[in-house]
Structure 1
Amino acid sequence: MSAEPVRVLVTGAAGQIAYSLLFGIAKGDVFGKDQPITLILLDITPMLPVLDGVVMELQDCALPLLREVIPTDKEEVAFKDLDAAILVGSMPRREGMERKDLLKANVAIFKSQGAALEKYAKKTVKVLVVGNPANTNCLIAAKSAPSIPKGNFSCLTRLDHNRARSQVAMRCGVPATQVKNVIIWGNHSSTQYPDVHHCKVNMAGSDLACFAAVKDDDWLKGSFISTVQQRGAAVIAARKLSSAMSAAKAICDHMRDIWSGTPEGEFVSMGVYSSSNSYGVAEDLIYSFPVHIKDKQWKIVDGLAINDFSRGKMDATAAELVEERDTAVTFLSA
């Protein structure tokens, strides 16, 4: 273990997603089993006492890879020389809050954090935005850090991807590892489109098309989609808290794939910058696409056939993102 520690920032670090996330990062599940870690934990000033407790717990884990833990409420400390930034903290929607008010509050947060990335982080930093509305928050952060490549920014739709895999796996009676190449298109919101037209399910040693494996087209085009779209709300209704454990697992999956790559012939879903009109999606959005990852660079999977059913759902979620972006940009220049 002679490697230099990677410097990893987690924002909203006193929150419940971070509480489920930090142990996985610190013990090597994300950046590698031989890669030392320096963890920087950012939260707002009133949360610093809670953050001290999180630091104590990380120390008490006695993890061999964890070289240093730095709790802070200062962006100039948090964003310095970063290799990876996981931006979990955001303004949650409160009762009576209109969507534009939520966007305005989050534009202020992610404009500031993007500017801090620009000023203090390495230009090679990989930035994952988790805090909602994740796609538009990611776009604002990227626009606020113009010297960092747009390809270094992504937002989390891996939780939706994992939910879709799991639903298909349960339906077919196989482990989720035997379901590959589901796609989440678009926004991390209830307009997202979970698409299984290119999904394969391994059953009895053979890869079957998802529709052939499930044998229920009505379910795949109906309640499967709505279940994935509404899963976060269902978890909140049951737990009275949001999806923390599964979100943390998805963050680990997403960042591990950025660091280590995706298996040959498989793709994963992540919100990335739309710059070349891929699949007819408008430019200058963070939109969830199927991607391959190699050498820490993602590439949108090209050439997948899109039927009319999929086209309509992909366009609907893109329209929501265009509206979100246009609203957010008015606050960005204010």
Structure 2
Amino acid sequence: MGKEPVKILITGAAGQIGYALCPQVARGAMLGPDQPVILHLLDIEPAKQSLEGVKMELLDSAFPLVKGVLTTTDVEEACKGVSVAVMVGGFPRKAGMERKDVMSKNVSIYKAQASALEKHAAKGVKVVVVANPANTNALILSENAPSIPAENITALTRLDHNRALGTVADRLGVPVTEVKNVIIWGNHSSTQYPDVNHGTAGGSPIRKAVGDDSWLNGEFISTVQQRGAAIIKARGMSSAMSAASSACDHIYNWVNGTPADTWVSMGVISDGSYGAPKDVVYSFPVTCKDGQWTIKQGLSIDDFSAQKLKATGEELVDEKQLALQCLQE
């Protein structure tokens, strides 16, 4: 007997990231090459026609794993029976908008989507928030979906993790498979801290392999932090292919586990590990097994790193306060 199809929700499915994500999910990059899927694609009313175009292309591609495609502008319908939810839709910051204006828009969106997921999603639904501000959008969703375990609602920092792996690999001129165990700490923002202190390249410590601490403590960090802006400058559009690929990696490892002696970065509800503020969605190094993530403990944190962890944590506390203020208004 073949496996039962898994229903996967993709919000903002007609957008750039959604368009890049759908075929990757359909090919098995998210749940595996033998797991059939039913795609639930949600977008707003003005994108309805474009959404139908995405469905046409999915059908035309004849993906063997795709057992159905639902397109809708109704969030309640979209959430029915889904076991995985990839929250790509959100309100982007536009020229002249204040931070609070953007937060207020996203609070409204994520409050409604939280309610629909809580009512209609499958028990044990796994959620990853991609739309910025991803960590705080995930927190808003969690606050408004109390019956979904907080550990089941996560934010995408795997994109930053993969960027860090790729940047080190490119510097060394080695395949990215040779590099592992970098860490993204904190927020998916320019305060995030890409940390190589526990990572390896070809089995050697990254610091030893690179042999340039000034680069690792300076240009490397800023390159990863600012990569999204650099891509917008180069392409005229934000990251889509890499965001989609990273969302697949995030869910794939969460569901199927991380390789032995390897961790990945996920934005998860903080328990205060490594001095991070509690009850915000903070990126930690995690290992995954049997569909559960666990924060990797016992890693040494030097003074330089501790300052970076503190700064990004403070930003998340500020964002949380702003979000809660918007919720009350």
Residue 40 of structure 1 aligns to a residue whose secondary structure is strand
Q: What is the CA-CA distance between 1:290 and the residue it aligns to?
A: 0.2
284, 299, 307: which one aligns with 1:304 = 299
Residue 215 of structure 2 aligns to a residue whose secondary structure is helix
Q: What is the CA-CA distance between 1:272 and the residue it aligns to?
A: 0.3
- RMSD between aligned residues: 0.8
Q: Does 1:222 align with 2:218?
A: yes
Q: Does 1:10 align with 2:10?
A: yes
Cα offsets for 1:169-206 (capped at 9, x unmatched) = 1111111110000000000000000000001110xxxx
Residue 162 of structure 1 aligns to a residue whose secondary structure is helix
Q: What is the CA-CA distance between 1:279 and the residue it aligns to?
A: 0.5
Percent identical residues: 57
Q: What is the CA-CA distance between 1:321 and the residue it aligns to?
A: 0.3
Q: Which residue of 2 aligns with 1:290?
A: 285
- Aligned pairs for 1:131-170 within 5 A: 131-170=131-170
- Contact 1:76–1:120 (CA<8 Å) still a contact in 2? yes
Q: Which residue of 2 aligns with 1:244?
A: 240
- Contact 1:123–1:147 (CA<8 Å) still a contact in 2? no
Residue 293 of structure 2 aligns to a residue whose secondary structure is strand
Q: Does 1:103 align with 2:98?
A: no
- Aligned pairs for 1:125-136 within 5 A: 125-136=125-136
Q: Which residue of 2 aligns with 1:211?
A: 207
Cα offsets for 1:76-133 (capped at 9, x unmatched) = 1101111000000000000000111111110000111111111111220000000000
Read off the aligned partner of 2:25 and give its amino acid letter. I
Instruction: Report which stretch shifted further, 171-180 or 127-136.
Output: 171-180
Cα offsets for 1:126-157 (capped at 9, x unmatched) = 00000000000000001111011111011101
- Contact 1:191–1:316 (CA<8 Å) still a contact in 2? yes
Q: Which residue of 1 aligns with 2:259?
A: 263
- Contact 1:154–1:271 (CA<8 Å) still a contact in 2? yes
Q: Does 1:281 align with 2:282?
A: no
Cα offsets for 1:215-243 (capped at 9, x unmatched) = 00000000000000000000000100001
Residue 219 of structure 1 aligns to a residue whose secondary structure is helix
Measured in 1, the distance between the counterparts of 2:222 and 2:2 equals 48
Measured in 2, the distance between the counterparts of 1:33 and 1:174 equals 27
Cα offsets for 1:296-327 (capped at 9, x unmatched) = 10000001000000000000000000000011
Gaps of 5+ in 2: none
The number of residues matched between the two structures is: 329
Q: Does 1:190 align with 2:190?
A: yes
Q: Does 1:234 align with 2:249?
A: no
Q: Does 1:54 align with 2:54?
A: yes
Measured in 2, the distance between the counterparts of 1:53 and 1:117 equals 25
- Contact 1:17–1:248 (CA<8 Å) still a contact in 2? yes
Measured in 1, the distance between the counterparts of 2:150 and 2:190 equals 25
Residue 268 of structure 2 aligns to a residue whose secondary structure is strand
Q: What is the CA-CA distance between 1:333 and the residue it aligns to?
A: 2.7
Measured in 2, the distance between the counterparts of 1:34 and 1:245 equals 23
Measured in 2, the distance between the counterparts of 1:227 and 1:35 equals 36
Q: What is the CA-CA distance between 1:53 and the residue it aligns to?
A: 0.5
Q: What is the CA-CA distance between 1:27 and the residue it aligns to?
A: 1.4
Residue 299 of structure 1 aligns to a residue whose secondary structure is strand
- Contact 1:285–1:321 (CA<8 Å) still a contact in 2? yes
Read off the aligned partner of 1:294 and give its amino acid letter. K
Measured in 1, the distance between the counterparts of 2:13 and 2:173 equals 37
Measured in 2, the distance between the counterparts of 1:27 and 1:184 equals 28
Q: Does 1:320 align with 2:315?
A: yes
Q: What is the CA-CA distance between 1:2 and the residue it aligns to?
A: 2.0
Q: Does 1:333 align with 2:328?
A: yes
Measured in 2, the distance between the counterparts of 1:88 and 1:280 equals 30
